Structure 1
Amino acid sequence: MSEQMTQEQLEAVMGLIINAGNAKSDAMEAIQAAKKGDFQAAEEKLKTAEQGLVEAHHAQTGLLTAEASGNPMNVTLLAVHSQDHLMTAITFNDLAKEVVEVYQRLAE
Structure 2
Amino acid sequence: MEQEKIQTVAFEIILHSGSARTMIHEAFNMMRNNEFRNAEEKLEEANKEIVLAHKSQTELLKQYSSGETITMEIIMVHAQDHLMTVMTLKDIASEMIHLYEKVENK
Is TM-score (shorter-chain normalized) higher than 0.5? yes
Unaligned ranges ≥5, structure 1: none
Aligned to 1:93: 90
Distance across 1 between alignment mates of 2:67 and 2:84: 25
Aligned to 1:13: 10
Deviation at 1:32, TM superposition (A): 0.9
Deviation at 1:10, TM superposition (A): 2.1
Aligned residue identity for 1:104: E
Aligned to 2:30: 33
Distance across 1 between alignment mates of 2:92 and 2:69: 33
Q: Determine which of 79, 82, 105 is the counterpart of 1:82.
A: 79
Deviation at 1:9, TM superposition (A): 2.2
Aligned-residue sequence identity (percent) comes to 33
Q: TM-score, normalised by structure 1?
A: 0.90
Deviation at 1:95, TM superposition (A): 0.5
How many residues are paired up?
Answer: 105
Aligned residue identity for 1:52: E
Instruction: Work out whether 1:59 is the aligned partner of 2:56.
Output: yes
The root-mean-square deviation of aligned C-alpha atoms, in Å, is 1.5
Aligned to 2:44: 47
Unaligned ranges ≥5, structure 2: none
Instruction: Work out whether 1:105 is the aligned partner of 2:102.
Output: yes
Q: Which runs of 4+ in 1 moved over 4 A?
A: none
Q: TM-score, normalised by structure 2?
A: 0.91
Moved more, 64-73 or 75-84: 64-73
